[in-house]
């Protein structure tokens, strides 16, 4: 996520379209790399509530995909194209800070008779 934030932070200061496209490609790759891990975390965290937590995860992800284009359009219209990349950096940094406060749960050992 930090690498994605760095890529998006560089974009407003880049003047080459090819360089911007490469930075966007690399930044998006870094954003989507950990997506496969989300489901294993949900399954490992609470196997009996996988469906519930999966639904909650999808709710927030899909809500963000509905809101993001409108919000990005507003930012671009009001503040210019660089604002959307700066907002991506801010969102990445907020998520990094939020993940610093996540504590692993206690693992319960099943008793075998």
Predicted structure pTM score: 0.56
Asked which of 8-12, 91-95, 99-103 is least confident by mean pLDDT, the reply is 99-103
For the chain, the structural domain boundaries read 2-100
Give a three-class secondary structure readout of the chain: CHHHHHHHHHHHHCCCHHHHHHHHHHHHHHHHCCHHHHHHHHHHHCHHHHHHHHHHHHHHHHHHHHHHHHHHHHHHHHHCCHHHHHHHHHHHHHHHHHHHCCCCCCCCCCCCC
Give the model's pLDDT for residue 37: 75
Tens-place pLDDT, residues 22-80:
999 999 898 888 777 777 777 777 788 888 888 888 898 889 889 988 999 999 999 99
Give the model's pLDDT for residue 44: 79
């Amino acid at each position: 996520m930090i690498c994605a934030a760095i890529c998006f932070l560089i974009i407003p200061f880049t003047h080459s379209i090819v360089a911007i496209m490469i930075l966007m490609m690399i930044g998006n790759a870094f954003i989507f790399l950990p997506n496969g891990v989300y489901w294993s975390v949900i399954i490992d965290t609470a196997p009996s509530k996988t469906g519930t937590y999966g639904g909650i995860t999808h709710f927030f992800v899909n809500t963000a995909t509905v809101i993001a284009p409108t919000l990005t359009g507003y930012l671009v219209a009001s503040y210019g194209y660089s604002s959307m990349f700066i907002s991506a950096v801010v969102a990445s940094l907020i998520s990094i800070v939020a993940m610093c406060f996540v504590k692993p749960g206690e693992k319960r050992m099943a008793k075998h008779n």
